[in-house]
Structure 1
Amino acid sequence: MSSTSAPPTDGWDASTRIGVVVPHADVGPEAELQAMAPASVSVHGSRIHFAAMRAGGEMDEKIPHDPVRAFVEPPFLDQAVELVAASPLHALTLGFTSSSYVLKAQGEQALYQRLAPFTRGLPITGTTRAARAAFHALGAHRIAIVNPPWFDDTLSGQGADYFREFGFDVVHHGPCGLPSNQKAITPDNLSAWIRTTVAPHRPDAVLVAGNGIRAVGTIRPLEEELGFHVITANQVILWHALHLADAAHLAADITDYGHLFTATPKDGHA
């Protein structure tokens, strides 16, 4: 089965159905998830207005921190999760990275606990939770984090602190030096940044954070060239959601998007 096969016509007859909650104008998560997913997996979204995103889906040059926190505060996120969970799904994901950076480990745990009554018992994950599971599954301890250019240095530092709370050695982090425009980030210029700026730090794995970055096209070429694992925000939530949905066998069908899809979450990190 090819990972690029067309999905079922409306998605509801797919054998595995994943819901994703994203900012209102961010098409990146749904587009990348469906591009990677086998034909038997469908993706269904719910959207929340995000004040840092301008009309037309463009991000601010540097996103303000208050909306990042407000995105995960009740009642809007709770309502969005409840709405998408009312559909016949198998797992839920949050397609948003920076809020976990701001919440830190304890705040993120409290967030998932708060959302539990709205999930209809469905398993739920998000970018940072899935990334942690991915690092453990890949045996990666020395990690690098490539953040979107619309994250400022403070937000990037909070992301590094988040992963350090879980015992990872963050050998490099920072906003990538590319235009702060979702449409201007390409596999070529993103790969060049990782090759020249990140690779010299010799991480076990690099996370391209930020679900708004279209990054999955960099994964396989960079892994083959650089010899370390490359994971991205949308790749990890698909991988983790498939395992949480008891559809690990479908992850094995995804052959073009990195070593992660051959890995299994470790006990206690699923």
Structure 2
Amino acid sequence: MAQLKTFPTKRSWTDLDFELDAGFGSRAHIGMVVISNDQTLSREARAMLDLPGVALYESRVLAARQKNKAVTMEVLRKQADDIDLAVRQINNLRPSDVVALGCTSAALIIGPDELRRHIQNVHPNALVTDPFTGIVAALRALGSQRIAYVSPYPRDIAERMITGIEATGGEVVVAGAFHNANGNIGDEAPFISPASIELAATRVINGADVDTLVIACTQMRAASVIDSIEKQTAKHLITSNQALCWHALRLAGCSDAVPGWGQLFQTGLAP
């Protein structure tokens, strides 16, 4: 049987005074639910939301899609099943001011009302966003009317997203999809190089009468080439992760103009 540890009777202890402050999130607590197979969002979100007084807390939810399986609308709908539990695990000491769900296609298929219901089951007062909602808000904020679209999604999901984008009043006039006939693009998406993303963006935009390019999917490692693409093309660029982080910040009342992440991060919410 283990012996209980005894402490020297002559050791001196001092009670220490301290003061409390607001912690890391003096301005805003942003909670984020990341899909378990996502390789990109956590890193890009931490870079984009690295602002004084802004705290980012995240949890993960198991991916409904299994490796080597295709992305389907049915699978994306199932992603809602475990959201409540994932939200509870974000930060159980302080409710989030804004909760963001990190999957563009799942958010589109589940729908903002259903997402809000799941999240506000846990944090009734939290504002809610997701990448697709962020993209729509970004298009409005930038006044986008003629849009180019790039994603790694199957055609049916991409067309569903384009329809949602056009419901905002703009027109998607040209689109491109990353494709590999001998692979599974769902698994390969996070490993598409930023250089390939930049090349694809310029190829789709080239010669097209557009004012904005949307690169959809939180797996796309596009953050590092946002400024470069905007400079090369003289078009606005909206990516899933950029739009999600920007919208979460603006909903939290943070109006900072942050360099390095494109024109969107210099812009406020549309009236």
| TM-score of the alignment, normalized to the shorter chain, above 0.5 | yes
* In 2, Cα distance between equivalents of 1:110 and 1:24: 20
Match of 1:71 among 79, 85, 110: 79
State which drifts further: 186-195 or 62-71.
Answer: 62-71
Query: Greater shift after overlay, 34-43 or 20-29?
Result: 34-43
Identity of matched residues, %: 25
Shift of 1:199: 3.4
- Preserved contact between residue 153 and residue 174 of structure 1 (Cα < 8 Å): no
Shift of 1:192: 0.5
Q: Residue 81 in 1 paired to residue 82 in 2?
A: no
Q: Which residue of 1 aligns with 2:249?
A: 242
Which consecutive residues of structure 1, in runs of 5 or more, have no partner in the other structure? 1-11, 55-59
Measured after TM superposition, the shift of residue 132 of structure 1 is: 0.9
Partner of 2:159: 157
Q: Per-residue deviation at 1:146?
A: 1.0
Quote the RMSD (CA, aligned, Å). 2.2
Write the distance in 2 (CA, Å) between the matches of 1:137 and 1:186: 29
Q: Is the 8 A contact 1:101 1:155 kept in 2?
A: no
What is the DSSP-based 3-state SS (H/G/I as helix, E as strand, rest coil) of the residue aligned with 1:71? Answer: helix
State the SS of the aligned residue for 1:255.
coil
Give unpaired runs (5+ residues) of structure 2: 1-22
Say whether residues 1:259 and 2:263 are aligned partners: yes
Indicate the residue corresponding to 2:122 in structure 1.
118
1:101 to 100, 108, 119: 108
**Does structure 2 retain, via aligned residues, the 8 Å contact 1:85–1:92?**
no
Deviation at 1:177?
Answer: 4.1
CA distance in 1, matches of 2:179, 2:205: 11
Structure 2 Cα separation of the partners of residues 175 and 18 of structure 1: 31
Q: 1:86, 1:120 within 8 Å by CA — same for their partners in 2? A: no
- Of residues 240-249 and 37-46 in structure 1, the stretch that sits farther from structure 2 once superposed is 37-46
Q: Of residues 1, 11, 18 in structure 1, which corresponds to 2:30?
A: 18
2:39 corresponds, among 27, 48, 58, to 27
Counterpart in 2 of 1:6?
Answer: none
Post-superposition offset of 1:49:
1.0
Take 1:135 and 1:199, find their aligned partners in 2: how far apart are those partners? Answer: 20
Asked if the contact 1:157–1:174 (Cα under 8 Å) also holds between the matched residues in 2, the reply is no
Contact 2:29 2:57 in 1 (8 A): yes
Whole-angstrom CA distance in 2 between matches of 1:241 and 1:183: 23
- C-alpha distance in 2 between matches for 1:85 and 1:210: 25
Larger radius of gyration between Structure 1 and Structure 2: 2
- Matched with 1:3 is none
Partner amino acid for 1:141? Q
Counterparts of 1:87-236 in structure 2 under 5 Å? Answer: 87-88=93-94, 89-103=96-110, 107-148=111-152, 151-177=153-179, 180=185, 181-236=188-243
Distance 2:55 2:238 in 1: 21
Q: Distance in 1 between matches of 2:38 and 2:118?
A: 24
Provide TM-score, normalisation by structure 2: 0.81
Q: Given that residues 209 and 232 in structure 1 are in contact (C-alpha distance below 8 angstroms), is that contact kept between their aligned partners in structure 2?
A: yes
Equivalent position of 1:43 in the other structure: 56
Measured after TM superposition, the shift of residue 67 of structure 1 is 1.4
TM-score (norm 1): 0.81
Give the deviation of 1:174 after TM superposition: 3.8
